[in-house]
A and B are shown apart, each in its own frame.
Chain A
Amino acid sequence: MSVSALDVPTGLPGAPDRRLVTLGRVRGMGAFLVVLAILTVLAFGVATPGSAHATFTLSAPPAVSVAPLEMSVRTVAVVCAILTAGLGALLVSRRGARGSYLIFGLGVMSFLWAFLTWAARGNDLNFEQMLAATLISTTPLVYGSLSGIMCERSGVINIAIEGQFLAGAFLGAMIGSVSGDLWLGVLAGAAAGAAFGWLLAFLALRYGADQIIVGVVIVAFCTGLTNFLTEQVLTPYQTTLNSPQTFSPIAVPLVDKIPIVGPVLFDQNVFVYLAAVLVVSVNVALFRTRWGLRVRSVGEHPHAAETVGIHVMSVRYRNVVLGGLIAGIGGASFTIGSVGEFSSEMTAGLGYVALAAMIFGRWRPFGALGAALLFGFSVSLQSFLAVLNVGIPSPFLAMAPYVITIAVVSGLVGRVRPPAADGTPYHRE
């Protein structure tokens, strides 16, 4: 998570609240951790019988086998509570804001560990599967939010991610099925996404149409078109047009043997590896290269960029098409990366969630990755809690990822600052 923007006053008089993280917020985070610690002791420690135990399965096939971890719920609760309270106290006593998120994150993880142990009391929790499920929900969001970052860092709002997802998922499945070559499917998905990226750029940049309108309409168009084509074309010829294979996991030799994290990180399909590579390379490209500096300058102050000889329009064009391409690959991951067939509106609004992850991650690749992971983890937590039967009705559990996101966004992230020229059309003077 980036902290470089912390403690930088914007210099705007009369607007002190534009500082991204205030010390007050850090203290609030600390106080919150202390409250969590008290809750941990009371709910999971005192209220649980001392004999209650929980078992976590920590090994999956390729990795070196680790014995299941059996823990006393009460002991874990007390240890985690002390840890959480300690981290909370550290936050409250801090003078600077730098690194606060890391400390807070550790505190919350410690709380979650205690919570999971309590939820799994008398039961077996497959921790490996939980991590794997997290990754499955996270991957498309990473593509979506990277797509948004590519576009918005150059000053164009891409609200059409959902549509590009659908287009990529549809064409990826169809081409992958017809040709029998999954890589052609990925290419087709990328091309479909890029085509709608191009459409956004064409209408918004060349003809000055409102970026939000075009984006929203691309989503409506892709939804309608893929539904129409699914009913009209895919369903009648299901076996030839909509039955692609899926990418199988590729194990990275040696590292996939690492206990616990090995299988999750190093025995995945192409889409997961590619997402990881993209996060790093987009980050490097945006913040460490001349190209990135140019893109960001176009997103912040296009007129200044033009003055020093950068062609604003072509930078924006290129980035929006690239962004669409990334979203298209992410779309293909829905079909040839997991399910193996296209179905109507299968992206289920995740394109919009990806948009939220991008804003939440402050238009930075690693920030967006963090946001996507948080959301993915909430989704997997929710499905595991439903299995463990903790006594919460399943619709309420299903709300959890969204409520957690709202809570985190309002409690931790607060006001975010988009690129200054984001969404503003550029006219040469």
Chain B
Amino acid sequence: MTPEGPDPGGGHLVPPGPGADRPDGALVLAPAPPRAGSRLRWIVEANVVVVTALAIVSSLVLGGVLIIATSPTVLHALAHIGSHPGRALGVAGSTVGDAYAAIFTGAIVSPTALGHAITTGHGWTGVLTPISETLVSATPLVLAGLGVAIGFGTGVFNIGAQGQLIAGALAALYVGFAVHLPIGIHLPLVVLAGALGGAVAGFIPGYLKARTGAHEVISTIMLNYVFLNLLNELLTTQPFQQPGQSNAISRTIPTTARLPHLFGSGLRANLGFVIAVVCVLGASWFTRRSTAGFAFRVIGSNPKAGRTAGIDVRKVTTAVLALSGALAGLAGMATLSGTDFFLSSGYGGNIGFDAITVALLGRNRPVGVFLGALLFAALDTGGRNMQAATGIPLDLAFVIQAIIVFFVATPSLVREIYRLRESGASIGQVLSKGWGG
């Protein structure tokens, strides 16, 4: 390796192992050697970290424009910008600033509460509540997002996370209230039931695709509605409905079926988040190291090569959808057993669809999905705080989420806007493939 060689980016392409200096050998990306000026170069380069950071900044700017353009008070002040320019800009700035401050304090930490806790030594629960809430809402997103990502990585479009999530929650609910066991046995059974319920819901489209060729996009979309209606039916009939209720509300699961709190009863963060983290690590290992994961990846990148190599595409398709469904089912279980303890109609909100966005934001990689879900969850919980504090609708947070993904998905656009240098590593590659298969 010659030190004068061209630097392709933040790293040198070097052969693995000492002495292996053949240029045609396998090349791996190694950290750049410390050299004057090169250490900070990555900041002006279009790498993943910089692009994501700029995407977040840009989305906040656009979100601010949206707030300004739709707030009556700001528009009123702006109408007199000729006579009172300072006041107009001040109103615009403070409206946007208050909104974003509310998002931050609602999602991560409130500086005033933190200062109060440090000086008095009390109120730590209040300080940790925002971050705990963010972890709580990240949990189902991580799990369902992992499921969708595993599908995408194998060339399978699972649009049915929403339905699989409901199926998992229903199965977990049933085992939760119908079985009476000590927590050490009951809770694992509930978790297992959630995964199994989701797996069955994912297996159906997988089996149909393998047996009859029915396209998984159609069947998973349709099954979303099927499970939604199944939920509505079960919530109003025995044995699922809460006795004595006429509303669509299920029985409540007992404490033996609930995921324990992680940091005491004052904070809602629970074991579900740990399960999500374990699944991230498991998925990471699975896709990179295991034989089945390898088969999945081969089918994802080149089904024909996989078929030639003797991989049973049908089996893989079925298995992927079942696994993907199991993860979505765990997501449904996590909210039921972690925070809600009962089901009502509309359970799951929009998590199944957000999971698709999170999977794509995380580039189908488990750790990426994890970080993407944390970001989405932070905007979500922070957005709720913003709505309560400033009256700006929570939907602003969803708009910001979408804009972030727009930019992350289009690194070359970000590069053009901010005039970044081209990075050596390709980060704009296509992650999903067409419908065929």
Q: Are A231 and B393 in contact (CB under 8 A)?
A: yes
Q: Are A227 and B432 in contact (CB under 8 A)?
A: no
Our pick among B217, B226, B233, B397 for the contact of A402 (Cβ within 8 Å) is B226
Output the least CB separation between A391 and chain B (Å). Answer: 14
CA distance A398 to B225 in the complex (A): 9
Q: Are B225 and A402 in contact (CB under 8 A)?
A: yes
Contact with A along B389-429 (1 / 0, CB 8 A): 00011011111011101100110110000000000000010
Contact with B along A211-255 (1 / 0, CB 8 A): 111101111110111011101110010000000000000000000
A352, A393, A416 pick with most chain B CB within 10 angstroms: A352
CA distance A233 to B357 in the complex (A): 27
Output the least CB separation between B293 and chain A (Å). Answer: 22
Question: Which residues of chain B are near A216, meaning CB under 8 Å?
Answer: 353, 356-357, 360
Q: Are A422 and B435 in contact (CB under 8 A)?
A: yes
CA distance A396 to B233 in the complex (A): 7
CA distance A416 to B230 in the complex (A): 29
Q: Are B217 and A221 in contact (CB under 8 A)?
A: no
Q: Are A425 and B430 in contact (CB under 8 A)?
A: yes
Output the least CB separation between B40 and chain A (Å). Answer: 27
CA distance A76 to B430 in the complex (A): 57
CA distance A214 to B218 in the complex (A): 20
Q: Are B215 and A213 in contact (CB under 8 A)?
A: no
CA distance A411 to B208 in the complex (A): 9
A370 interface residue, CB < 8 Å from B? Answer: no
CA distance A116 to B258 in the complex (A): 48
Output the least CB separation between A358 and chain B (Å). Answer: 10
A124 interface residue, CB < 8 Å from B? Answer: no
Closest to A344 in B: B395
Segment at the B interface, from A202-210, A279-287, A312-320: A202-210
Q: A356-B221, A406-B222 are in contact. Are A224 and B399 (CB under 8 A)?
A: yes
Output the least CB separation between A311 and chain B (Å). Answer: 21
CA distance A341 to B230 in the complex (A): 30
Question: Which residues of chain A are near B224, meaning CB under 8 Å?
Answer: 349
Which residues between 363 and 421 of chain A lie within 8 Å of chain B, taking CB atoms?
393, 395-396, 398-399, 401-403, 405-406, 409-411, 413-418, 420-421
Q: Are A17 and B213 in contact (CB under 8 A)?
A: yes
Number of A-B residue pairs having CB atoms within 8 Å of each other in the complex: 177
B112 interface residue, CB < 8 Å from A? Answer: no
Our pick among B353, B393, B410, B433 for the contact of A227 (Cβ within 8 Å) is B393
Output the least CB separation between A320 and chain B (Å). Answer: 15
B339 interface residue, CB < 8 Å from A? Answer: no
Q: Are B395 and A213 in contact (CB under 8 A)?
A: no
Question: Which residues of chain A are near B66, meaning CB under 8 Å?
Answer: 225, 228
Q: Are B403 and A203 in contact (CB under 8 A)?
A: no
Q: A225-B399, A395-B230, A416-B213 are in contact. Are A409 and B393 (CB under 8 A)?
A: no
Output the least CB separation between B248 and chain A (Å). Answer: 10
A198 interface residue, CB < 8 Å from B? Answer: no
Closest to A15 in B: B307
Which residues between 123 and 168 of chain A lie within 8 Å of chain B, taking CB atoms?
157
B436 interface residue, CB < 8 Å from A? Answer: yes
Output the least CB separation between A165 and chain B (Å). Answer: 15
Q: Are B233 and A409 in contact (CB under 8 A)?
A: no
Q: Are A213 and B360 in contact (CB under 8 A)?
A: yes
A353 interface residue, CB < 8 Å from B? Answer: yes
Our pick among A228, A229, A416, A421 for the contact of B215 (Cβ within 8 Å) is A416
Which residues between 49 and 67 of chain B lie within 8 Å of chain A, taking CB atoms?
66
A271 interface residue, CB < 8 Å from B? Answer: no
B159 interface residue, CB < 8 Å from A? Answer: yes
Q: Are B226 and A210 in contact (CB under 8 A)?
A: no
B388 interface residue, CB < 8 Å from A? Answer: no
CA distance A410 to B221 in the complex (A): 14
B19 interface residue, CB < 8 Å from A? Answer: no
CA distance A73 to B332 in the complex (A): 46
Question: Which residues of chain A are near B233, meaning CB under 8 Å?
Answer: 393, 395-396
Q: Are B214 and A224 in contact (CB under 8 A)?
A: no
Q: Are A228 and B396 in contact (CB under 8 A)?
A: yes
Q: A209-B428, A356-B217, A405-B218 are in contact. Are A220 and B395 (CB under 8 A)?
A: no
Which residues between 347 and 368 of chain B lie within 8 Å of chain A, taking CB atoms?
353-354, 356-357, 360
Q: Are A217 and B219 in contact (CB under 8 A)?
A: no
Q: Are A423 and B159 in contact (CB under 8 A)?
A: no
Closest to B66 in A: A228
B320 interface residue, CB < 8 Å from A? Answer: no
Closest to B222 in A: A402
Output the least CB separation between B375 and chain A (Å). Answer: 14
CA distance A224 to B62 in the complex (A): 14
Q: How many residues of A contact B (CB 8 A)?
A: 59
CA distance A209 to B435 in the complex (A): 17
Output the least CB separation between A236 and chain B (Å). Answer: 8
Closest to B152 in A: A212
Question: Which residues of chain A are near B409, meaning CB under 8 Å?
Answer: 203, 209-210, 213-214, 217
Q: Are A221 and B70 in contact (CB under 8 A)?
A: no
Our pick among A208, A411, A416 for the contact of B428 (Cβ within 8 Å) is A208
Q: A220-B402, A231-B395 are in contact. Are A399 and B230 (CB under 8 A)?
A: yes
B290 interface residue, CB < 8 Å from A? Answer: no
Output the least CB separation between B96 and chain A (Å). Answer: 14
Contact with A along B322-358 (1 / 0, CB 8 A): 0000000000000000000000000000000110110
Our pick among B211, B219, B221, B428 for the contact of A355 (Cβ within 8 Å) is B221
CA distance A68 to B395 in the complex (A): 51
Our pick among A209, A219, A221, A398 for the contact of B403 (Cβ within 8 Å) is A221
Closest to B433 in A: A423
Q: Are A413 and B214 in contact (CB under 8 A)?
A: yes
B212 interface residue, CB < 8 Å from A? Answer: yes
Which residues between 226 and 272 of chain B lie within 8 Å of chain A, taking CB atoms?
226, 229-230, 232-233, 236-237
A359 interface residue, CB < 8 Å from B? Answer: yes
Question: Which residues of chain A are near B406, meaning CB under 8 Å?
Answer: 203, 214, 217, 221
Q: Are A228 and B229 in contact (CB under 8 A)?
A: no
Q: Are A409 and B229 in contact (CB under 8 A)?
A: no
Which residues between 337 and 365 of chain A lie within 8 Å of chain B, taking CB atoms?
349, 352-353, 355-356, 359-360
A209, A356, A421, A425 pick with most chain B CB within 10 angstroms: A209
Q: Are B436 and A228 in contact (CB under 8 A)?
A: no
Question: Which residues of chain B are near A398, meaning CB under 8 Å?
Answer: 225, 229, 232
Which residues between 12 and 38 of chain B lie within 8 Å of chain A, taking CB atoms?
none
Question: Which residues of chain A are near B402, meaning CB under 8 Å?
Answer: 217-218, 220-221, 224
Q: Are A352 and B159 in contact (CB under 8 A)?
A: yes
Q: Are A228 and B70 in contact (CB under 8 A)?
A: yes
A65 interface residue, CB < 8 Å from B? Answer: no
Binding site for B on A (CB under 8 A): 17, 157, 203, 207-214, 216-221, 223-225, 227-229, 231-233, 236, 349, 352-353, 355-356, 359-360, 393, 395-396, 398-399, 401-403, 405-406, 409-411, 413-418, 420-425
Return 30 A-B CB contacts under 8 Å, by A number: A203-B410, A208-B428, A210-B409, A210-B431, A213-B431, A213-B432, A214-B410, A216-B353, A216-B356, A216-B357, A217-B406, A219-B353, A220-B398, A224-B401, A225-B395, A227-B395, A227-B398, A236-B72, A355-B221, A402-B223, A403-B226, A410-B219, A413-B214, A414-B214, A416-B213, A417-B436, A418-B435, A422-B434, A423-B432, A423-B435
Give the 3 A-B CB pairs with smallest separation, nearest first: A415-B213, A423-B434, A224-B398
Binding site for A on B (CB under 8 A): 66, 70-72, 157, 159, 208, 211-215, 217-219, 221-226, 229-230, 232-233, 236-237, 353-354, 356-357, 360, 392-393, 395-399, 401-403, 405-406, 409-410, 412-413, 428, 430-436
What 15 new A-B contacts, CB under 8 Å, besides A220-B353, A220-B402, A398-B229? A207-B412, A208-B428, A209-B428, A210-B432, A212-B432, A231-B395, A396-B233, A402-B222, A402-B225, A406-B223, A410-B212, A414-B212, A422-B434, A423-B433, A424-B434
